[in-house]
Chains A and B, each alone.
Chain A
Amino acid sequence: GAVVSQHPSRVICKSGTSVKIECRSLDFQATTMFWYRQFPKQSLMLMATSNEGSKATYEQGVEKDKFLINHASLTLSTLTVTSAHPEDSSFYICSANRDRSLYEQYFGPGTRLTVT
């Protein structure tokens, strides 16, 4: 299967600071990537669709000014959590569709964010 990486795997930050999470497709190009949030023992909640070279599409209820998404290349999307608060603590997972087989969506290993 295709490989998607995320960095960092874990991050602890103080309230009010910003944190950037990277999502990379290592062996394929991905015009579209997705960012999810997962609370403990719950399913994945889609936050936004990241589109290479254009603005991200946010799901209803997700603050675009708080969760900044940049998809600057065909292999990299970044999620920046701005002015983080303890309630932003969560597991953030990205995924990517291979451009040549859009029905296969591959997930990164996730980033555990803890805001103190």
Chain B
Amino acid sequence: GEDVEQSLFLSVREGDSSVINCTYTDSSSTYLYWYKQEPGAGLQLLTYIFSNMDMKQDQRLTVLLNKKDKHLSLRIADTQTGDSAIYFCAEKPKAAGNKLTFGGGTRVLVKP
């Protein structure tokens, strides 16, 4: 089945690292994504990882993928107040074509 789960809320102090976790169920997923949504706005593609990779780093962002446990995480280093937003993970199951299945979103609040 298709079910992507995330924790609802994360509070972090400015300058610390944030880690947002996600679990998915479809092992056929070829790509997994992280999107950021600020209030009243659409989704911004932050990064994605191909299913044959374990890790991907892009500036302050590090994505870790554990295929065995179907666990995806996004680490934001040196978190800033501008990182406060909702973060969605999404999977692209092989059988779904280009359709994405989204998690419920994690609201990240960065405190000064």
Q: Which residues of A contact B (CB under 8 A)?
A: 1, 4, 6, 32, 34, 42-44, 46, 49, 93, 95, 97, 102-110, 112
Bound Cα distance from A46 to B48, whole angstroms: 20
User: Contact: A103 with B30, CB < 8 Å?
Assistant: yes
The residue from B42, B103, B105 contacting A109, defined by CB atoms under 8 A apart: B42
Q: Which of B31, B98, B105 has the most CB of A within 10 A?
A: B98
- Contacts between the two chains (Cβ within 8 Å), count: 52
From known contacts A43-B88, A44-B88, infer whether A107 and B99 are also in contact, taking CB-CB under 8 Å: no
Add 19 more A-B contacts to A44-B88, A110-B42 (CB < 8 A): A1-B44, A32-B98, A42-B105, A43-B102, A43-B103, A43-B105, A44-B102, A46-B100, A49-B98, A93-B42, A95-B43, A97-B98, A103-B31, A103-B48, A105-B100, A107-B43, A107-B45, A110-B40, A112-B40
Nearest B-chain residue to A59, judged by Cβ:
B99
Q: Which residues of B contact A (CB under 8 A)?
A: 30-31, 33, 35, 40-45, 48, 50, 88, 92, 97-100, 102-105
